[in-house]
Structure 1
Amino acid sequence: MHNTSFDTQYQDKAVAVIGFGVTGQACVKFMLARGANVTLFDSKYDDLLDKQIDDPLLVQVKLARFDESSEFEGFHLVLVSPGVNTQKNAIQRAIKLGLPLVSDIELFARHNTTPTIGITGSNGKSTVVDMLNTGLSKEGLKVAVGGNFGNSVLELLDEQYDVIVLELSSFQLELTFSLKLSVAAILNVSEDHIDRHGDLLSYARAKQGIYKHADVCIFNRDDVLTAIPPEALPESKSQGVDDSRSQRLFSFGKTAPLACSQAVELAIFENAEGLYINNAKILKYEAIAHLAKHNVLNLQVALLCAKAILKDDNAFKKCTMSLMTYRGLAHRFSLVRQTTLANGMQTQWINDSKATNPGAAIAAINCINENDNLVLLVGGDSKGTDLSELKSLISSRVNLLLSMGKDARRFAGCCANTEFVASMESAVNAAKQYVETCTTNSVVLLSPACASMDMFKNYQHRGEVFEQAVNAQEFS
């Protein structure tokens, strides 16, 4: 059990910050501004030492090497960046000493007074956050987004907002204990980051921590791992949960809600006539017919969040209509190019580089017309996830599989027509050669189901390289 008790007066207190990425830098700035004595621990100690004299931030801190021998005894607080594995021996020793180890999100939680929405899940988080930013901003609210998307959460404390929307990862949530949310939502839970969390249930439990201090909890009724655990419900007094609030439950999903589900106050669902909240139609089917299946679910969550935040029915209706023009984020099932062969056959080239786990790739494949030839580009670092469900879908839906990167061979045997390629350019060339032989329409889909850092800077870089390779092709 982690110690989560610490004094929020930091003047002259010894504070350790582990990691100097975006999160670590924000933590250092936050603590220095409040008079703390900061020691920065980083595995790139030698590089930072060389830069220290010229860096206005680094010159104000003490530098220390972060490795298995690092010691944290005597620190008032240890701030851990999300990329740092808490299973490392040095971190575990700090926990045994009873030191408070927290995320930047927990630090934000201790100082935030603005109504906040938290979104987590294996897939779709960024899209829902962006949808909410779009819809709520058009209603005249001053909206800030942060966490795993946009700005560091600590930077959001410096200005006044009407609402803050956070994308929260399992890494951030596992060291967050007192985040009070106006709305908390888990979109889905599928195999991801198993190399870090150990198993699917531990990963799910990290996600479920988002509900603990939320006023409104939104879960996916088709995904049991998004359910609110008993200890997060207000009536569980024995768990020490703040039960002075009345927690409201909303649900979304592909299936219709059960009529007997009395505990759920609002349920959103789709049928052949449109989108409904309980018995009230909020959108005609024609208004959502253009959306990919997974984006209909993302829209459901965004609308439930807006319903919880916007008390005025007219404001909610305007927000709903504004989301009908939402066009999505880059690298998330985005059309790069549509090409036409001399025989009239068309090929769509789709960049879904953000699909860094099997669940995301499965969602993307299920959006493709079953009558189209499907060329799928996969591979990278699979993070120890179970690929069996994805492999089964590939075997039934994919006409050509192009696999690359560190774990390329993990995809062997799941498609009769498989090629292992050394680069994105080689993959795009192979895809082009294949679709030029097809006598029906085709889709070339980059949906890797893996992380990107084995070959690229990040998923954005991977998507950009794909788009460049596609746009460089000449078609007859």
Structure 2
Amino acid sequence: MHTAPLQIEGARVSVIGARRSGIAAALLMREQGASVFVSERGALVPGDRELLAEKGIDAEQGGHTGRVYDADFCIVSPGVPLTAPVMQFLRARDIAVYSEIEAASWFCPARIIAVTGTDGKTTTATLIAAICADHALAAGYRVFSVGNIGVPFSSMVGSMASGDIAVVEVSSYQLEGCTWFRPDIALMTNITPDHLDRYDGSMRLYAEAKYRIFSRQRQDDTLIVNADDPILRQRFEERLGVVPQLAAFGLDAGRTRAFAASGAVTEGGWITLFKSGSLDERVIAHEDLLKRGFMGRHNLSNALAAALAADAAGVPLSSIKRALKAFGGVEHRQEYVCEIDGVICINDSKATNLNAMRQALEAVSGPVVLIAGGRDKDGDYRELRDLVASKVEMLVALGEAADRFTGAYGESVPAVTAGSLREAVRLGLQHARRGSTLLFSPGCSSFDMFDNFEHRGAMFKSILRESTL
């Protein structure tokens, strides 16, 4: 049982941000006996004010008033940047700030498997949950998928029991507000440039936010890292400040085995688990895992990570094998949508940074018509010039970053600009030929034109469905 490090009953708690995680955190704090006040800079979602009022929670919208600071501590939604005036005022008043993930963990009776990283965390977390679920019924426990994956952790802790497993996807934004968060198993998929606009362009600050995932772990906990990732490899080679047991996964088997005493690797066409003093265990052949909808070397890496986390949680090899073989990928992540006149259409709307776009391009065989663009995240477009030149036969750029894409790649490949996603799909299908792939992998965030990447991906699929009528 994870326990709260401070007195909640009778405490004054301000919740800043009233979207899904903020509302869930407010309700949880009220259930635990706190006096709760919710403050939303924008407008409250219809019905939320009534729901809060029913629970005895006051709320405001349209900005943050001074009442926010009449608090013993605050819970802040991940979308509120550290530089926001309300955050500066909280620091000036020395009021403690926590994330919803942190607050929920105080009341979690279940074992926690937490997953973070720049790319692959949603796929890996989803796959871990699927593997654990295969074993859960027979073993008498339940599995909950929560966190950045879309379901607030706070909304589910009340349903959890000792022995259950909570698979928690955690972003760097959420980890910024984690002080006491202690997962039983922490997993880091990779660290590549992303969200640098939030961290003043500093990879060091971004990485330090990610490292908070293991800062409170104990000796009997497990930390799993990607031995193929140079930043993680450098950070953990000498084990400085690392208290939990370290395990590793990697596509480079020799390097991974040298890096950690236990882990998961690819060898001889198989995903293999290894542990010091034990025989290696073959899990699944590559050919049985990588199929339409779940392809590419990065998904091999995700599968290694998930298998290793499940093994650390005590899931038997039979369940790991079955779940990996049955897994068909995650929506909006290199998702096969349809085939139109011999053109394969792939929805990779979750590619919100250039490294994710790179992974998608590497995973696709044959010529690619690439639709990319959105809100720029200060990525280095030059790093992908050779890959784009070798794989892409046509670039359709859209959104605020359209000029950055055409400027970076327009000399290497034919490029056009579209004013909308609908126009981009029309232009892409117009140019694509039989045997090529229409790949929607934006490489940018969605907030210039859409609510989120799910909204963007759903729109792409809707447009394609109309094209097949």
1:223 aligns with 2:229: yes
1:266 aligns with 2:262: yes
Please give the alpha-carbon distance, in whole angstroms, between the structure 2 residues aligned to 1:81 and 1:172. Answer: 8
Task: Find the counterpart in structure 2 of residue 205 from structure 1.
Answer: 208
Please give the alpha-carbon distance, in whole angstroms, between the structure 2 residues aligned to 1:150 and 1:49. Answer: 17
Asked if structure 2 preserves the Cα contact closer than 8 Å seen for 1:254 and 1:297, the reply is yes
Please give the alpha-carbon distance, in whole angstroms, between the structure 2 residues aligned to 1:128 and 1:367. Answer: 17
Asked if structure 2 preserves the Cα contact closer than 8 Å seen for 1:18 and 1:66, the reply is no
Please give the alpha-carbon distance, in whole angstroms, between the structure 2 residues aligned to 1:118 and 1:355. Answer: 21
SS in 1 for 2:437: strand
Distance 1:70 1:348, change over 3 A: farther
Distance 1:170 1:66, change over 3 A: farther
Task: Render the CA deviation track for 1:75-110: whole Å, top value 9, x for unaligned.
Answer: 101110011001223312312322110001111222
Please give the alpha-carbon distance, in whole angstroms, between the structure 1 residues aligned to 2:45 and 2:273. Answer: 57
1:27 aligns with 2:30: no
Q: Which of 310, 331, 341 is the aligned partner of 2:314?
A: 310
Asked if structure 1 preserves the Cα contact closer than 8 Å seen for 2:284 and 2:325, the reply is no
TM-score normalised according to structure 1 size: 0.86
Task: Render the CA deviation track for 1:118-137: whole Å, top value 9, x for unaligned.
Answer: 00111111111111121111
Task: Find the counterpart in structure 2 of residue 420 from structure 1.
Answer: 417
Please give the alpha-carbon distance, in whole angstroms, between the structure 2 residues aligned to 1:173 and 1:276. Answer: 31
Please give the alpha-carbon distance, in whole angstroms, between the structure 1 residues aligned to 2:254 and 2:65. Answer: 53
Task: Find the counterpart in structure 2 of residue 250 from structure 1.
Answer: 247
TM superposition shift of 1:226: 2.8
Distance 1:231 1:394, change over 3 A: closer
Task: Find the counterpart in structure 2 of residue 154 from structure 1.
Answer: 154
Task: Render the CA deviation track for 1:114-165: whole Å, top value 9, x for unaligned.
Answer: 2110001111111111111211111124101101124211122212341110
SS in 2 for 1:210: coil
TM superposition shift of 1:58: 4.4
Asked if structure 1 preserves the Cα contact closer than 8 Å seen for 2:336 and 2:346, the reply is yes
Deviates more, 1:164-173 or 1:140-149: 140-149
Q: Which amino acid aligns with 1:427?
A: A
Asked if structure 1 preserves the Cα contact closer than 8 Å seen for 2:52 and 2:59, the reply is no
Asked if structure 2 preserves the Cα contact closer than 8 Å seen for 1:131 and 1:302, the reply is yes
Q: Which of 416, 438, 442 is the aligned partner of 2:436?
A: 442
SS in 2 for 1:441: coil
Q: Which of 407, 426, 430 is the aligned partner of 1:429?
A: 426
Task: Find the counterpart in structure 1 of residue 183 from structure 2.
Answer: 181
Please give the alpha-carbon distance, in whole angstroms, between the structure 2 residues aligned to 1:71 and 1:135. Answer: 46
Structure 1 alignment gaps of length 5 or more: 341-345
Asked if structure 2 preserves the Cα contact closer than 8 Å seen for 1:68 and 1:89, the reply is no
Task: Find the counterpart in structure 1 of residue 327 from structure 2.
Answer: 326
Please give the alpha-carbon distance, in whole angstroms, between the structure 1 residues aligned to 2:180 and 2:153. Answer: 15
Please give the alpha-carbon distance, in whole angstroms, between the structure 2 residues aligned to 1:114 and 1:228. Answer: 32
Please give the alpha-carbon distance, in whole angstroms, between the structure 2 residues aligned to 1:443 and 1:113. Answer: 46
Task: Find the counterpart in structure 2 of residue 40 from structure 1.
Answer: 38
TM superposition shift of 1:320: 2.0
Structure 1 runs of 4+ off > 6 angstroms?
49-52
Task: Render the CA deviation track for 1:309-358: whole Å, top value 9, x for unaligned.
Answer: 116xxx22232222201111111111111133xxxxx2101011111111
SS in 1 for 2:345: strand
SS in 2 for 1:107: helix
Q: Which amino acid aligns with 1:274?
A: W
Task: Render the CA deviation track for 1:25-63: whole Å, top value 9, x for unaligned.
Answer: 01211122233222222212xx449978x6131473344
Task: Find the counterpart in structure 1 of residue 450 from structure 2.
Answer: 456
Task: Find the counterpart in structure 1 of residue 277 from structure 2.
Answer: none
TM superposition shift of 1:305: 0.5
TM superposition shift of 1:18: 0.4
TM superposition shift of 1:67: 5.5
1:385 aligns with 2:379: yes
Deviates more, 1:195-204 or 1:285-294: 285-294
TM superposition shift of 1:275: 1.7
Q: Which amino acid aligns with 1:441?
A: G
Please give the alpha-carbon distance, in whole angstroms, between the structure 1 residues aligned to 2:196 and 2:170. Answer: 17
TM superposition shift of 1:434: 0.7
Deviates more, 1:80-89 or 1:219-228: 219-228
Task: Find the counterpart in structure 2 of residue 57 from structure 1.
Answer: 52
TM superposition shift of 1:460: 1.5
1:17 aligns with 2:15: yes
Task: Render the CA deviation track for 1:162-197: whole Å, top value 9, x for unaligned.
Answer: 111000000000110211211111101122111112
SS in 1 for 2:371: strand
Asked if structure 2 preserves the Cα contact closer than 8 Å seen for 1:136 and 1:306, the reply is yes
Q: Which amino acid aligns with 1:380?
A: G
Task: Render the CA deviation track for 1:350-376: whole Å, top value 9, x for unaligned.
Answer: 01111111111110000011xx22100
How many residue pairs get matched? 444
Please give the alpha-carbon distance, in whole angstroms, between the structure 2 residues aligned to 1:310 and 1:127. Answer: 20
% identity of equivalent residues: 27
Distance 1:474 1:172, change over 3 A: closer
Q: Which amino acid aligns with 2:210?
A: K
TM superposition shift of 1:227: 4.5
